[in-house]
Structure 1
Amino acid sequence: MQVSAGQAKLGADQITEAERGLLDFVTIEDGLGPQSSRRHEPDERTDQVRGRLDAVLIASRVAPLTRHIGLVPTVVATHTEPFHISKAIATLDYVSAGRAGLRVRISARPDEAAHFGRRTIRRTDAPDGGQPITELFDEAADYVEVVRRLWDSWEDDAEIRDAATGRFIDRDKLHYIDFEGRFFSVKGPSITPRPPQGQPLVTALAHQTVPYRLVARQADIGYVTPHDADQARAIVAEIRAEQQAAGRAGEPLHVFGDLVVLLDDSEAAARARLDRLDTLAGEPYNSDTRVFTGTAEQLADLLEELATGGLTGFRLRPAVTGHDLPRVTGDLVPELQRRRRFRTAYDATTLRGLLGLTRPANRYATTAA
């Protein structure tokens, strides 16, 4: 069973705690505007944190402090350039010695679009001007395709580094990607050598058919939000069908279930803590996924039940990082190990290796006759 952690405010101490618990990777949230309690616009609240550090820079800072755990920062594809992100994640893969990934997401917030002065975005496909939100996912798919091609634009042995002759690169092993699409025109090659993993992990969160299609077309891991095993089974079936339609039926694709978790010694204690948090916030906690309150044993039971729906792992979101993450590493992990459902030591040196994914061949490399 694969288990990772995702949270908006993970710092160095929390990430090293996740590594102590032998988790596969952590995801680090990001956005192009301040956090908001409203889905598509900013709010005026001053009693909650607004603003955050860049996720890719956080991952790069934490990488030298860790040895095994994967680092997966969020990247907003809508208003950033794939060339810059490709080299940033490639650099992270070098800094972490093969433990990098990215979580690609779109932005449909008008205030973020206005900040960049590029376009307005509408949340439906009604003909009222602006860019349909479905197009944002098509754009994100092209974005990832460009990033992947740029990672391959250097063959693995393109660097010569021959001081005697002054040759650093074999230019025949650098490749123009010549991508021409609806949203991007990119010639390449990259300015960063091919990453240690060849292709760092691409992940995405999906709630319905259009983002499922993005996962099926371009991701190595999709995060989904089922509330029970039957719903998980239906989601996995839809993603697998989209994967086949995209011509990727033979490629590995993990589907992880997301859960918000509040862990305590008893279910009553966990529910009481959630009630206190709701009172402090002045409103009930709402999430895009199931909110679990209970013990580590109960959570292990739930994970095993959800896994029968075809999920290959889980991304757990600690409701309160300082409380619930140590509960995951200190209580849940030992319980899963007792059930022989989780590793007892890291068994690979790269993130792809931890997830059972092989290092892909370079699409541009030619094999000598």
Structure 2
Amino acid sequence: MPKRQLKLTAFCHPPGHWRMPGAKPTDMDFEECVYLAQVAERGKFDMLFFQDSAAVAPAFYLSGGNAETLAEAARCVRLEPLTLLAALAAVTKHLGLVATATTTYNDPFNIARKFATIDHISKGRAGWNLVTSQNVDEAQNFSQDKHMDHALRYERAQEFYDVVTGLWDSWEDDAIIRDHKTGRYIEASKLHVLNHKGKHFSVRGPLNVARPPQGYPIVAQAGSSDPGRELAARTADVVFTAQVSLDEAQAFYADVKGRMARYGRSTDDIVIMPGIRYVLGATESEAQERYEMMLSEASDDGALASVQRLCGNLDIRDFPLDGPLPDLPPSNAAKARQKMMIDLARRENLSIRELARRFTFSLGHLVYVGTAMRLADMMEEWLTQDAADGFTMLSPYFPQPLELFVETVIPELRRRGIFRTEYEGTTLRENLGLRFRTNRYVGIKQAVGA
């Protein structure tokens, strides 16, 4: 029986450790983004994933608007990712191209139109990372006084997804006929008007883009709270998650896949890909040296900024840096990520200073420091023990870590027979082993025998 095949995502974001030797910018440099995409495609990665935020790093607000607090924050500027995906589609051939677009501060029609367009440009390689914004600072950039409540954000996200996918079904796959003899450009019976009227949105449709090549572009979801897991079970093709131990990952994997049946979905309809923040070296000591160098880079103010957003309305600077993390009020940003941070501090008895530096580096994900062989061991164990279908690889800077992964880890995964040597298909769905999304109206016609 063939072995299960690992899926891989390269996570691309403005690098926090931009001072490392050989580090190059990816925040505003398109040529560097092209290079990373080509490295990932050479390694036969499934996807290149761009995280996004519609606000400057919250470090700026920790000092009442003192921009000096922001001075070392490398993630304060970035290219708008949907525009970037369209450009990268022209210089890649197989690599999936995925970007975050929030349901909290966007409109369904525009999101449906943009991702459908990118799917056409890339010939079926687009993906939408559906998120409810974590960054409370985004609200004031969209005419809101405060960030929307967590529960309401997920309620809105459910309806947002329904509208977007309904718009993607506006046209059946063969509705655009362009018949020169009859002069008929479309087959009118294969055009469908959505006429959605809900609590959050009223959208008539139809979409003015033909149906995407994948049926639906890949939908990814990154929430790990209970509402996030429910949204993933109902909507997601891919789940990006942060699990820091095998036991936790197995429990998350079983929980999300166990929710899918009530939505008429198979467990094979979703790919779960925990994140790994990795530091590779030819030896354990070389990897550890690189890791320690990166931990020492951040100032206390810069490190504190990364955890402050998860502290509710409590100002972490009011407590001794070398003392324990105090009890935190509930966060309206990322509830699961806040719990993960608290658990880490309690489990390892970390001071606020130690926690801030560790969390700044990890971004809340599992941290691996060591050799390629040992990383492949861990990845194989998680795959075979139903803790993951693949992984999201988070490079601490670019391009060297990703180059090292492709040069050292990929060959080891192939040697074990758990990673591809060539792409299986032409679309991202095909390469992920996910089914084509049939148009809902075709399904209804088939059901009634029309």
Deviations 1:239-274 (A, max 9, x none): 123323444346611111111111111222112112
What TM-score does the superposition give when structure 1 sets the normalisation length?
A: 0.92
**Other-structure match for 2:200:** 183
Matched, 1:21 2:43: yes
Tell me, yes or no, if the aligned pair for 2:60 and 2:70 is still in contact at 8 Å: no
Higher strand share: 1
- What SS does structure 2 have at the residue aligned with 1:198? coil
Q: Normalising by structure 2, what TM-score? A: 0.76
**Equivalent in the alignment of 1:128:** none
Contact 1:69–1:351 (CA<8 Å) still a contact in 2?
yes
Which among 147, 150, 155 is matched to residue 133 of structure 1? 150
Q: Kindly state the Cα deviation for residue 234 of structure 1 after the two structures are TM-superposed.
A: 0.8
Give the secondary structure class of the aligned counterpart of 2:289. Answer: helix
Task: Determine which structure has more spread, i.e. the larger CA radius of gyration.
Answer: 2
The equivalent position to 2:77 in structure 1, one of 39, 51, 70, is 51
Specify the alignment match of 1:294 in structure 2. Answer: 370
Q: Name the counterpart of 1:260.
A: 277
In 1, Cα distance between equivalents of 2:428 and 2:134: 30
Judged with a 3 Å threshold, the aligned counterparts in structure 2 of structure 1 residues 252 and 167 are, in CA distance, closer, same or farther, namely: same
Question: Which of 232, 251, 262 lines up with 2:249 in the alignment?
Answer: 232
Is residue 100 of structure 2 the alignment partner of residue 74 of structure 1? yes
Name the amino acid aligned to 1:302. Answer: M
Which SS does the other structure have where 2:97 is aligned?
strand
- Which amino acid in the other structure matches residue 293 of structure 1? V
How far apart, in 2, do the equivalents of 1:228 and 1:236 lie?
12
| Counterpart-to-counterpart distance in 2, 1:38 and 1:229 | 36
Hey, what's the Cα distance between the residues in 1 that align with 2:136 and 2:224?
21
Answer whether contact 2:53 2:135 (CA < 8 A) is retained: no
110 and 233 in structure 1: CA distance in 2 versus 1, 3 angstrom threshold: closer
**2:268–2:434 contact (8 Å) kept in structure 1:** no
Task: Tell me by how many angstroms 1:223 deviates.
Answer: 1.4
Q: Is the 8 A contact 1:228 1:306 kept in 2?
A: no
The DSSP-based 3-state class of the residue aligned with 2:221 is strand
Of stretches 38-47 and 133-142 in structure 1, the one that deviates more from structure 2 is 38-47
Mapped partners of 2:397, 2:38: distance in 1: 16
Which ranges of structure 2 fall in alignment gaps of 5 or more residues? 1-5, 15-25, 27-32, 304-356
CA distance in 2, matches of 1:108, 1:348: 34
Q: State the Cα RMSD in Å.
A: 2.1
Aligned residue for 2:159, secondary structure, equals: helix
2:420 aligned counterpart, secondary structure = coil
Structure 1: 5+ residue stretches without partners: 122-130
Equivalent of 1:62 in 69, 75, 88: 88
Is 2:432 the counterpart of 1:355? yes
Distance in 2, Cα, partners of 1:39 & 1:66: 39
| Residue in 1 that maps onto 2:29 | none
Percent identity over paired residues: 32
CA contact (8 A) 1:229 1:309 kept: no
Q: 1:261 to 1:135 in 2, by over 3 A?
A: same
Deviation at residue 24 of structure 1 after TM alignment: 0.5
